[in-house]
Structure formats: structure tokens, C-alpha cells
Structure 1
Amino acid sequence: MTPSWTRRGVLHAAGGAALALGTAGPAAAAPQTPAATAPRAAADDFAALRAVWRDLVLGTGFSPTAEPFATRLRELGTEAAAHLAAMAPAAGSLWPDLPLADPEPDKDTESYGYSARLVDSYTRLRTMAEAHVRAGTGLTGDAALATGILTGLDHLHDLAYNAAQPPYGNWWSWQIGAPQRLLDLCVLMYDRIRADRLAAYCAAVDHFVPDSAVASYTGTSTGANRVDLCRVLALRGVVGQDPAKTALARDALSPVFPYVTTGDGLYTDGSFVQHTYVPYTGSYGAVMLGGIGLLLALLAGSPWAVTDPARQIVLDAVEHAWAPFIHNGLVMDGVSGRGISRGVMLSDPRGIQQDDHTRGHGILASVVLLAEGASGAERTRWRGLVKGWMRRAYYSPVLEDRTLSLASLAWLAGVENDAAVPAAAHPSGHRLFASMDRAVHRRPTWTASVSMASRRITHYETGNTENLRGWHTGSGMLYWWGDDYANGQYSDAFWATVDPYRLPGTTTSAKRLADAAGGDWGASRPAADWVGGATDGTVAGVGQHLKGLGSTLEARKSWFFVGDTVVCLGAGITCTDGTAVESVIDNRNLGAAGVHPLTVDGVTAPAALPWSAPLTGARWAHLGGFGGYVLGGTTGVRALREQRTGRWSDINKTCATTPLTRRWLTLFADHGTDPVNASYAYQMLPGADAARTAARSADASWMQMLANTGQAQGVRVPSAGFTAANFFAAGTAGALTASAPCAVLVRERGDGTAVVCVADPARQAASLTVTWNRPVAAVVSRPATVTSAVTGGSLRLAFGSLTGAAGATQKTVVRLG
């Protein structure tokens, strides 16, 4: 049986509304009703939909006198009262600090533009409306507040958002930001808005968001943006009692569901891309997930229920695409695009910082909502995942997140307080997202992720004067978090204070770059194809042909994820910029006052600030509270302890200018000026203590280096049965030989079998032969891409064209000889 939201199940009671969940049969697989033949709808259909939306917006099932809701409701009332007191309708604004009259109608003249101020004006009115209709705000039902809201709605309509006004500035403000908030207001204040004014507001929405906005799945009408547009159309239909609009919204949602092979949307490997070239699971992807959940919930049980069977693709993506990027409640910055630069926004009167945790908490709430329209088994699993993430959210407790709406808070509190829901454990394994140049590796006590760039995926995204210095985030940035430590690493003013030329894991030229270098919206893509790797789902070999942004820098980089270790190799590091080149082993944010002792070969380094020193001949280093580094294969290693001050406005002009100071510890390999074929090799051991780090450094047999050149990089870890090589050209590395560029990984298992993983990250192999010089008795299974397999004293696998495999790993299982 499939639980579903039902408009008939909405029960209204004094002081609020409670949403009852009904149980219906499996969703029909019949095609959607075309908008042109939308069913006739009675007024009570729309009244019921308004009631459902009201409950989705406000949340249900919580007491306004219980914490944390009571405090949040009082804060809401205080904020609304301040907005009402400051409201001063004038010729060019509703609030003096939010001028709306743009002197240049074709564009915003400031980074924080006039069209954005229109959205903020509607946001303030929406805050006031919530305070008016919610219990416990101190302004519930307040007549003066209601008058202010209605006055504000009329003023914004007459001044800016009306059917005669041409749009200016950012298209999003007119088609998504403003109308979403306006229509929410229309639902919340429906009984107080005169019919003629309601019609005028609907006409304004029709003007800025005509049906043609969803006529084709192109441009700004794809992925998350398309879902947002559908939300506008659906609510416009509900508010204006227009069945054709509501049906159009439902039908226009269908192009979002299928997998894509290029551009925006979900890929079969779990990747999510927006703006054509930007990995965006954590930002636009979160918007899409939440928007679909809201629309499915709104329309369930109505004449416009979403019955497209392809919606299951999005439901599957909860575990396939979103869950891999959630760690202890946060969503990884490597899939949040320019959103990483949105610290404290100027538009937030509370001055609350946004970060990887607040973005992650929103996704958790969306998963809970979406679960109500999923199968019983999915609902059970997803609620368990959410509870597990919440229980492990040590750094930023979810139910204390003041960026969450009260509705989201209620959904999440419902999971936390449900004794029947077991908390899912932290998973282990490896996921490689070849379609967006990302990899995620999980161990029982830590998680790591790599961000890369290629012709397909941008170095970084800037736009709207946001993320101005994210230049090197795609240059092999290696993020990592512990199970119960280091979870605030990228949350605590990281992006505002980090040296943007020394992001952890990257190899960069010190050549100075201008803010927003490379161009907006993902324009900065390197002419590199070999980016990706191979994995069996437990261990992995990942690699990158690196070409620097605005630089002559080239390098080959590899990460081998095996056991408790990330083996990091770099080779062919060459540059003619006339500047220094560095490979950053790690760059740890120590917080505002952190000390964290650094031990090098058993000797504690000075804790003074600033401090810099070469670690000539160092074999290992350990940073207290974080982990260890085996440095034996790297020359020119230096350590730097410093204090850095920055502002969110330095990297995002829509953010606050308050200075922030954090302490940093950086380990890096200095390759000198204009290096030719420089290299590095080190091991990273997250969470290891000094003794284990020293022991690993002394254990020369733990790992064998097979190759570390510009043509191939590979390692063998006998204790793990692990052999892997990234071939950037045809060649041999240890027992592995490849006839063309590819990634190869072999894991010998304890049952006498081995899995042989092969991938074509460059997507250029018309044919490929891989040889493993190890006796093999038989092939147990092989993919269709293997055209022949020869066993005996060695294994020889011949592949047909892999150009259409989208970089996916091809797994062959063999029985060892």
C-alpha cells in the first residue's frame, strides 16, 4: 500500500489545522490528464487544496507552547512586529531599506539588485502573514497586522508586480521568487483579500509566468527551476480556481523525472547537474527535491494528482543521488555550487549563517515530506536515514536550526519523536559520480569526497557576484569529515577565511586570479577529458587530468581509497606561469582559538602564530584532533600555522561585511617556480593517532608504488587484496597492462574470487584490452562490454567501445587460479 497525502483528509480545528494521512492504493500508471482536457473542478476542490497548502506551509502536529516551537513562534512575532513598524509605503518602496524603482529597467545596477529587493519585500509580508495566522506569535489574528499585510500587498502590486510592469534585473525574482511568496500570501490571507484584488494578483502572475514558461524544457525552465515554475502555476491555479493552470503545472512536471545524459537533471549514476555544467545536488537539487515533495503532497487525491510513473525515478534518487552526499546532517559543499559562499546574507534580518549543515537539514526535511508519497518500505527506510543523520548531527543539532521553517521543524521533530523509527547507521562504501566529476568514500569513522573538473564539469560556479574566489574547488579538492569530529570543518567561516589558493587536496599555481575569473555560470571548464575512475563499491581508484584555471598548469592526480587510508599521488606537474606551484596535502580550519598540536616524526612543532617551516626529510606528521599523514614520497613539504581574517562579502557581494578570524594549519608540497614533471606521494589517515601514523610510516610493506608518472599512477596494498592503476596513456603498472587510457582496479576477495573493475573516464576508448598478470581459473560474470575473456596464467579482457558508458565502471568477477 502507498501512503499519500489526501485533500479530503485535512481536518480543521480551532487554533490551527491538522493534516491527516490517509492510505490509498498504488498510484495509477495511466497517463496524465492533458491540461486542455482538465476536469471540471468544484469550488470545494480548490478550497481543499488551499487547506492542504496551508498545512504544508505552516506545518502540523506540534504544540505552540512546546519547545523549540514556542521560542521560534515568539521570534516570528517579534520579527513581524518589526516589519510592521518599519513599513512606510512610498513612491519607490514599501520599506525604506528596500528601494524598488530601478533607474535602468534592463538590469540591476548593484550586486544586491532591485529585483531581489522585490522578493525580500514579499518575504517580509509573508513573515507577517505567518505571524498573523499562527498561534503563539503574540500577533495571532491581530487586526493592525492584517491591515498592514493587505496594504503591503496592494502597494507592491501597484508599484512593481503587476500586469503592466516589464521585468528588470534577475528573471528568477519575477518568475519564481516573488510569485511563490505572493501566492503563499494569497493562501494564508485568502479570506481577507477582496476578490478583485485576488484577480489582480493572479493577473500579475500570469503576466510574468505565462503558460509559455513551461512550453519547452530548455533554458531556465529545467531541473529545479522547472519544479519551481510548476509550483507557481499550481498555486496560481489553486488561488484563482483555474483547473487548466493546475493541470498544466502537473503536466509540466513530467519532463523533470526522466534521467538525462547531458545538461540539467538526474543521471543514472546519481549525479545531479544544473546550469548545464555544475554539480548541484546540495542546492538546486535540494530545491528540486523539496519542490517535488510539496507538489506531490498538494495534488495527491485531487483531480490533478501526479500519476506519471516516471516520478519513481525521483523517489529512487533519495537513496541513489541525495543520501550519498549527506554526512551527519550536512550536505557536502562539493555539490552546492556557488551556494557555498552564502554565509550571512544581507537579506536575512536575523544574521544567521547558512552553511553545509543548514543546507543539509533542509534536505532531511524534504526527504521526510517526500516519504509520505512513497511506498511503505521506502517511507520506513527514509525515516530511518533521517533519524540516523539527526542523531549524528553533533556539530549542528537539526532541531536547533533557526534557518528551518516551522513546517520543516515539525516534520523532523515527528521523526525524532517516533519511537518506532530506528536510526540508520553510518554506511560504508564508495560511490563514483562520473557524470559530475565527484566521488564519495565512506568508512565507519570518517567520510571523504573529491571534487574535479573536465570539459563536462566546471572548475567552479560564480554568478550574481557570488562565489567570487571558488576558482580551485574543482582542482582536486579533498574534503573529509570524522564520525564525531571535524564536522564543522567547512561550516565555521571556512570559505570566508580560507586561502583560496590552498584548498585541501588541490594542486594550484600561485598566479593571481581576478574575482569571478573564468566567467559566470560554469563557463570555466578545462580542456581535459580523463577525469573519473573505477570502483567496486567498497574501494576505488579516482584520477584527474588537471588543467589549471587561467593557468598553464598541468598535472595528473590520483586518489586510491583503500582501508583506513587515502593514498594521494601527483605527477607530471608542469607550469610556465612564472609563479610557484603547490600541492596542498591538507589545510585544516582550527577555529577561532584552536591550537591542535602538530607532531612531525615524534617532535611537537611550535604552536606560535604565525609559524612556517620546511619539513625536510619528514616521514610523517600528525595533527591533533584530526589525523595523520605519511609523507615519505613527497619532497619540499612545508607547514604553515597562521591566522586569517576575511569577510563573507569578500567572496559574495550579497553577504555581510563583518570581519571573521580563524586559525589554520596547512601542510603543502612546494614544487617551486615553473616546475617540470614534479610529483608527490603521501597517505592520509583520517582519525589516526600519532602512534598509528608513525607505525604506518615505518611499514614499508603496507603499500607498493606501482607507478607515479604523467602516464600512469598505481598502487598495490597486499593486505587488502587491492591493486589499482590510472592509465592516462597505454602502458603497464605492476601486474596491470592497458592498451589505451583507462582506470583499472582489482580487489582479491577471501572466497577465492576477485572483482576486476575497468572504466573509461575519458569516454574515448573505441576498444580496450586490459591484462592482469595473475593466474585466473575462470570468469564468473562479465558485463556486455567485454567482447572476450582469456584466462590461464593471466587474465586478458577485451572490451568493445566504451564511449557510450558515460565513464561507468565495468565489473568482471573471476575465480582465481
Structure 2
Amino acid sequence: MTSAWSRRTFLATSAVLTAAGGSALVLAAPRTATAADDDPYAALRATWSALILGEGFSPTAEPFRTRLATLGTQARQWLDTMAPGDGSLWPDAVYADPDPDTDPESYGFSAKMADSFIRLNTMAQAYRQQGTGLTGNTGLRAAIVTGLEHLNSQVYKAGQTRYGNWYSWQIGAPQALLDVCVLMYDALTPAQLGRYCAAVDHFVPDSAVASYTGTSTGANRVDLCRVLALRGVVGGTAAKIALARDALSPVFPLVTKGDGLYADGSFIQHTTVPYTGSYGSVMLGGLGLLFALLKGTTWEVTDPKRQVVFDAVENAWAPFLYNGLVMDSVAGRAISRGEVDDHRRGHPILASIVLLGRGASAAENARWRALVKGWAQRDYYSPPLSNPSLNLTALSRLKSVLDDTSLTPLPEPEGHRLFPDMARATHRRPGWAAALSMADRRITYYESGNGENLRGWHTGSGMLYWWGDTFANGQYSDAFWPTVDPYRLPGTTASRKPLADGAGGDWGVALPDVNWVGGVTDKKRAAVGQYLKGLSSTLLAKKSWFFLDDTVVCLGAGIRCQDGAAVETTVDNRNLGPTGNAPFTVDGSVKPVTRPWSATLTDASWAHLGGHGGYVFPGKATVKAVRENRSGRWRDINTGGSTDTVTRTYLTLWVDHGQNPADASYAYQLLPGASEQRTAARAADTGWLRVLANTDNQQGVSVPSLGLTAVNFWFGGSVKPLTADAPCSVMVTEHPDGTATLCVSDPMRMRTSLTLTWNRAVASVVSKPSTVTSATTGASLRLVFGDLSGTRGATQTVKVRLA
């Protein structure tokens, strides 16, 4: 065929189709489908078609009927506007790069080339799916083939020099192209398929997976393997499928640096970015598809290390899923994409877990389906089956789980999870959950790139997210990122020094020169600390969080800065939505709901925000508050975002440390979901919490009613009843049965020895890790630890019996 279809012929054909209403035909089976038993590639094409089109749902039942009609409408739009010409297949998607060596917009041109294939993929799905209004439409079929030929002759072909972003050429375009080849296999000649396969071979040669480095790791490696596998399926090349299967193996083992899954449940992509909720989602979905495609074939994935991926469902992904959403703390620059919020990013992960379960054990599959059912049912804010960005296959998987009456939905898992390898933590209690984001010399402050997440500067400066089970689930979903003050992210300590968009550099290159970031946990409670150095700032601070049963105790000390700008610690910054009338009370005094309203709250003991929770200030504090409307555009934080202005109301509480502070501090308790009465009662109970230390050297608390004492030793020293001879994090809990648990860690990963003394009579040591080289009991307990530098900041747990 020629490289371009004449616009006149195309429009004439479209007119005929429009007039005819797009006759729906009975679909012909792929030309080799009858030989599926004898032709493994035909069987693989049939499997892949089912995986990408969905199965087991009625096209006349909701939500599928509406979604199929929407698919048909979109395909009709692409059909009506398709105008093959020199340098574009659609007028609004010009892919011809005028100067690939110097043009700064090369990325955009390559992305539009890939987008052209994605549009053809949409059209192919509308052709194959029932109920689209274009099912089996011969004119649509001809347009798809013409589009493939046009792109192959003009741009995506063997010998073409690529420009712009590598991703478009090696993943975006070939994945969509090969999907179309499978869906339209019966409409394509062997010669056409051969040229398309040659194009894929050119841009994605076998060498793309020869080494596990660069852009061929983690989620990207899985995507490349999908391309290779489908190239083998479409071209009938066994070696390609085998290569794809074998090239997955480097993804499975736990890693100790760079991209991949870590033993503590961390997932890193781009070397320094926690990415469980974005790239991790892609990897999980890609593995689920490939496991399902190859299952029961000659090329089945049998590497025993794939169990690491199965274990990661609950070790890595589940801790960041909450009532259907996936936490923004592990979504990287994806938080700036307005069309897909934390709930809409979470739902595909739920569907991927369901798909992955097909290749897992029966017990794992049953448990995961029960977890998914619970998450999906509890997502009242954004029900998964109403998610417009969820494809039909994901919808069908989630609906099958929701409709499965044999499944009892599992509740949210409780407890604390600390992820030292990606400087993150999650805390889950009945009725609420929280997440903490930090940064160190291995984990970036934030990631920007491709014009995305331009103002995420302080998301790694101790941002403390929290959600309720039946309230505030849309806190970060409802246009939070374009409207929030980026210098006042909840929990952070930051300088008001103006920062440029993308400050610090793209792709997570900005790393603070600090080691002490981490803490300890007994899997129920935790003590976590961050030595903070501000991004492009002279700011220094010691920040600690003590995650307890109904509260998070937040301490800050040693806050100093010479930026010539104000320094603030944001106690909270709640998105109150379009109305913003949540009542705000301070020490029993109800404040106005008018906007703007602001005040300096002197000697405040407690505050309460209706429908959200409470805040307690031990020893009283001077706190500033403002209720205001804030407006912004997604385009302000993402160059590809909407230019529409959105407005939300915020109630912000912060401690103003003044300009150029020398040794400032703060202390407060966060009580998610607490009533006004419970908040006031906690403030009145001055003995419930004891702040043992809040200095540049140590930060520690005790809660007698919980039998808990926890201290972050920044430089060692003594905080009664604990003494440490070096930096470490310690949490001690005395239990009603006469035992106690001591949790100790080396967040700096540098200690070759550590001596810890607890001034408490101990009768015996019940259990201890191998890192404890000596344990002396009696009037006090003296623990000597050996080399902790290789423990990666993990908690060392010692259990003792009290005298």
C-alpha cells in the first residue's frame, strides 16, 4: 500500500460509513484460530486477545454497556478525523521532528508518534469488541490497516533513526502496534506483518535486554519483555518468546541497590525514586499479563524466584493500598497528572493483583481476591467500577471479584511498616492510616521530568499524609496538588525561599547529604526520624515521629536556616473541598468559616477540625492558622496538564519559626478522626505523654499507659531511662505479662558497634538477634551490638523478662 491514504478518499469512505451508521458485522475469527491446537502462536494470539479485551462480561450489562459505547464513540472520532499526510496520521498528532538533534520538542514529536499507534489500538478494540457500534465495521478495518501502513512507511520502520524519548520507540509504540497486530491479525498480510516485526526488531533488538542496566530494569524491563514476547507471537518466532521469558528473571530477585524490589518491601525505579504506586503498578500489571499469556505453554515462566513477586503483593503493594487508593508517597511524578488521582491509580493495581493470582497458589489467590474485594467495596469516594480511566479488562476482573459471593472481604491490615530502603513508612490503625515521606543520600527529595511534578520540591521533607476510613478519602484526590501551597505540605519543615519549577534537577538527581533517616518498629508502633537538609536551601532540622495507637507524636528541633526567608513547620493542610465549611475549634472557641480568615493562636493547647481530627500541643504553642481559597491549574505543575483553573478551600495550621531561625523547635500530636471531646480530653491529660527530649542531640517520648519509651539518638547520649554510645533509634515497650520488647536500629547504616543501656531491672533475655554480641542483665540491661552497618537500617528486636 502507499505511504498515505488520500484525504479525499478517506473522507469519502468516512462519509459512507457515517451515513450507514457503521454496520455491525459478525467478527471473523483470526484466520488461524481453527488451527489453534496445532499452532501455538494462534493459541497465544487468542489468549492475548482475551487478556487485552477482557472476558466473562456481558456487553449489555453495566458498567460495560456504557464503556463499550464510549469506546465506540472514541474510535469513531479517530476514524472521522484520521487524515494521513506527510508527517502525521492525525493533524493534531504531528510526529515528524524537524531537527531531531537539536529540537527541544523532540520528546513531544516521538510521543505523538506513539500516541498515533495508541489511537489505532483504540480503533482495533472497538472493531473487535461487541457493543461498540463499530463491531466488525469494514471501513474501520480498512482505516486501521491504512494507519499501520502509513506509520510503517513514514516513521516506525526498519532503518529509521529514532528521536525524542527512547520510551516512545521501545515501549509506547511497539506495545500498541503489536496489540493491533494481534487484534487485526486476520486483516493483515504476511508481508505487512513481516515489515511491522522488522520495525520492532530495529527499535527493540535482543540487545535491549542483554544487560540489566539503564532503561532495562524494573518496570521498564517488564515492558520490554512484553514487546519481545508479542513480537514472537505475531511473527511466530519461538526464540523471541523464550528470550522474553528468560529476560524476566533479573526482575525477580530482591535487590540491594538501584531499581527493583527490596527485602523490606521497598520498590525503586529511576535509581532513587520510591515508585510502588506508579512504575511498580506497571511492573505488577506487566508480569501478570506475561505470566497469564505463557501459562501452560512451552514458554511458561517457571523461574522459582518469581515467588518474590507473589510475596511482594502483601509485602510491597498492600501496605500502600488503602480503601482502593494507592498512596501518593510512592507515586513519584505521577501525582501531577490531574486525570488520574490516587484512587484511579489504585484500581489498576487491584485488577493486576487479581490477574497475578491466576499464576499463584490457590491459597494466595483466594486471600488476594478477598483483600481486593475489601479494598474495592470500601472505596466510597471513587468506586472502581465507575473509574473512567480503568480499561474493560480491569473492570471485568474487579467486577468478577465484587460479584463473587463466596468471598468474604478482608478488612484493612493494621500495623506499622517501615521501609528504610526507600525512606518511607506507613501506619495503619482502626479507622485511619498515615504515610510518611523522607529523603536521604539514596532517596531523592522528589522526582520531576518530562515537564511533570514541577513543584514537588518538599514532598520528601517529612510529608505526613493521612486518611480516614469513612472520611477524608479524597484529601489528596480532589485537585490537591495544583491548589495546595507547595511550601506548606502537611508535616514538612521548609524554607519559604522561592524555588524555580523543577529545582534540583530532573529524574530524582537531587539527594540530601544525610545518613540518619529511618527508625524502629515492632510492627504495631514506631519511632522514625529524619535529619533534614532543605532542597536548594541552608535549612537543617531534626524531625521525629512516634506512631502510636491513636496518634502520631511529632517533634522537631535544631531548626536553623540562613536563607533570609521564613521557615515553617506545617502541622496540617487540609483540603476542605469546594465548600470548605468544616468547623474549626481552638481550645473550645469556634473560629469563623468565612474566607479568607487567619489568626495567630497564642498558647494553644488543642485544635479540632470537624470531619477530620484533632491536634494537641504539649505545653502549649503559638500556632498560625488560615482558612482560604486557593486556585491553580494542573498546567502549573505539569506542562501537559489542563489549563482550567480549579479552586479549593484549605485550613492550614503551621508553626512559624521566623526568618533565619537558629535553634527552633516544635511539638504536636496528630489525632486522625478524633472528636472535639476526645481531643480536648487528650490535651487535658498532661501526664499521658511525656516529652523526654527534643533537642538537636536527642528526641524522645514516653507514654506510661502504653509502657512505651522511644528515643531517636542523633548523637548518642542519655535520655532517661536509656543511654546509647552512638547514634541509633530505640523503642522499648513493657508488656502486662512481665516481659518487654526492645527495638533498636542503626538508621545511618554505619555502626560497627553499639552499646545500649536500659536503666530497668531485667531478669533474663528471652530472645535476641545475632547482632547482639553481649547481653548483661540485673539492675539494668546492657546490650552490646556488633556490626550493624550491613543490617540496612532494619529493626533489631530483643525480648526480655523483667525482674
Q: In which range does the TM-score fall when normalised by the shorter chain?
A: over 0.9
Deviations 1:693-716 (A, max 9, x none): 011001011011110001110000
Aligned to 2:128: 133
Q: 2:584 aligns with which of 584, 595, 598?
A: 598
Q: 1:229 aligns with which of 220, 224, 229?
A: 224
Q: 1:417 aligns with which of 390, 397, 403?
A: 403
Deviations 1:205-243 (A, max 9, x none): 000000000000000000000000000000000000000
Q: Report matched runs for 1:690-769 at 5 Å.
A: 690-769=676-755
Alignment of 1:453 onto 2:439: yes
CA distance in 2, matches of 1:110, 1:664: 37
Q: 1:43 to 1:226 in 2, by over 3 A?
A: farther
CA distance in 1, matches of 2:114, 2:503: 29
SS at 2:650 equivalent: strand
Q: Which amino acid aligns with 2:782?
A: R
Check conservation: 1:472, 1:503, Cα contact below 8 A.
yes
Deviations 1:27-65 (A, max 9, x none): xxxxxxxxxxxxxx9961111001110000011000000
Alignment of 1:490 onto 2:485: no
Aligned to 1:142: 137
Q: 1:209 aligns with which of 204, 208, 225?
A: 204
CA distance in 2, matches of 1:627, 1:730: 35
Q: 1:323 aligns with which of 318, 324, 327?
A: 318
Deviation, 1:635, is 3.6
Alignment of 1:362 onto 2:357: no
SS at 1:310 equivalent: helix
Deviations 1:129-183 (A, max 9, x none): 0000000101100011111111111111111101121110000000000000000
Alignment of 1:91 onto 2:86: yes
Q: Which amino acid aligns with 2:240?
A: K
CA distance in 2, matches of 1:188, 1:534: 52
Deviations 1:183-221 (A, max 9, x none): 000000001011111100000000000000000000000
Q: After the TM superposition, which parts of structure 1 deviate over 3 Å for at least 4 consecutive aligned residues? A: 14-17, 632-636
SS at 1:273 equivalent: strand
Deviations 1:216-272 (A, max 9, x none): 000000000000000000000000000011000001000000000000000000000
Deviations 1:343-383 (A, max 9, x none): 1xxxxxxxxx2010011001000000000000011001100
CA distance in 1, matches of 2:511, 2:629: 32
Q: Over aligned residue pairs, what C-alpha RMSD do you find?
A: 1.2
Deviation, 1:751, is 1.7
Check conservation: 2:27, 2:136, Cα contact below 8 A.
no
CA distance in 2, matches of 1:706, 1:115: 58
Alignment of 1:334 onto 2:334: no
Q: 1:475 aligns with which of 450, 453, 461?
A: 461
Q: 1:671 aligns with which of 634, 641, 657?
A: 657
Q: Which amino acid aligns with 2:546?
A: F
Check conservation: 1:633, 1:682, Cα contact below 8 A.
no
SS at 2:790 equivalent: coil
Deviation, 1:775, is 1.1
CA distance in 1, matches of 2:761, 2:281: 48
Q: Provide the identity percentage.
A: 66
Q: Which amino acid aligns with 1:601?
A: D
Unmatched runs of 5 consecutive residues or more in structure 1: 1-13, 18-40, 344-352
Deviation, 1:750, is 2.0
Alignment of 1:262 onto 2:248: no
Check conservation: 2:567, 2:660, Cα contact below 8 A.
yes
Q: 1:243 aligns with which of 213, 238, 257?
A: 238
Aligned to 1:391: 377
Q: 2:48 aligns with which of 40, 49, 53?
A: 53
Check conservation: 1:634, 1:680, Cα contact below 8 A.
no
Q: 1:183 to 1:195 in 2, by over 3 A?
A: same
Deviations 1:718-755 (A, max 9, x none): 11111100000011112111110000001112221111
Q: Which amino acid aligns with 1:669?
A: V
CA distance in 1, matches of 2:544, 2:498: 26
Check conservation: 2:618, 2:686, Cα contact below 8 A.
no
Check conservation: 1:469, 1:516, Cα contact below 8 A.
yes
CA distance in 2, matches of 1:119, 1:48: 27
Unmatched runs of 5 consecutive residues or more in structure 2: 1-25, 30-35
CA distance in 2, matches of 1:425, 1:751: 29
Check conservation: 1:132, 1:139, Cα contact below 8 A.
yes
Deviations 1:434-462 (A, max 9, x none): 00000000001100000000001000001
Aligned to 2:488: 502
CA distance in 1, matches of 2:762, 2:27: 73
Check conservation: 2:219, 2:280, Cα contact below 8 A.
yes
Deviation, 1:119, is 1.4
Q: 1:612 to 1:110 in 2, by over 3 A?
A: farther
Check conservation: 1:461, 1:467, Cα contact below 8 A.
yes
Q: Which amino acid aligns with 2:358?
A: E
SS at 1:614 equivalent: strand
Q: Which amino acid aligns with 1:190?
A: Y
Deviation, 1:482, is 0.3
Check conservation: 2:106, 2:165, Cα contact below 8 A.
no
Aligned to 1:188: 183
Check conservation: 2:749, 2:792, Cα contact below 8 A.
yes
Q: Which amino acid aligns with 1:573?
A: I
Aligned to 1:616: 602
Aligned to 1:168: 163
Deviation, 1:106, is 3.0
SS at 1:618 equivalent: strand
Q: Which amino acid aligns with 2:593?
A: A
CA distance in 2, matches of 1:799, 1:505: 33
Q: 1:547 aligns with which of 502, 527, 533?
A: 533
Aligned to 1:157: 152
Q: Which amino acid aligns with 1:55?
A: A
SS at 1:287 equivalent: helix
Deviation, 1:633, is 4.2
CA distance in 1, matches of 2:206, 2:737: 60
Deviations 1:668-702 (A, max 9, x none): 00000000110000001000011110110010110
CA distance in 2, matches of 1:576, 1:557: 19
Q: 1:112 to 1:358 in 2, by over 3 A?
A: farther
Check conservation: 1:634, 1:679, Cα contact below 8 A.
no
Q: Which amino acid aligns with 2:319?
A: P
CA distance in 2, matches of 1:15, 1:531: 59
CA distance in 2, matches of 1:439, 1:773: 29
Q: Which amino acid aligns with 2:509?
A: A
Deviation, 1:109, is 2.8
Check conservation: 1:16, 1:135, Cα contact below 8 A.
no
SS at 2:83 equivalent: coil
Aligned to 2:300: 305
Alignment of 1:218 onto 2:213: yes
Deviation, 1:593, is 1.4
Check conservation: 1:731, 1:738, Cα contact below 8 A.
yes
Check conservation: 1:769, 1:798, Cα contact below 8 A.
yes
Alignment of 1:289 onto 2:275: no
Aligned to 1:519: 505
Deviation, 1:792, is 1.0
Check conservation: 2:526, 2:547, Cα contact below 8 A.
yes
Deviation, 1:16, is 10
Aligned to 1:272: 267
CA distance in 1, matches of 2:345, 2:574: 22
Aligned to 1:349: none
CA distance in 1, matches of 2:302, 2:326: 30
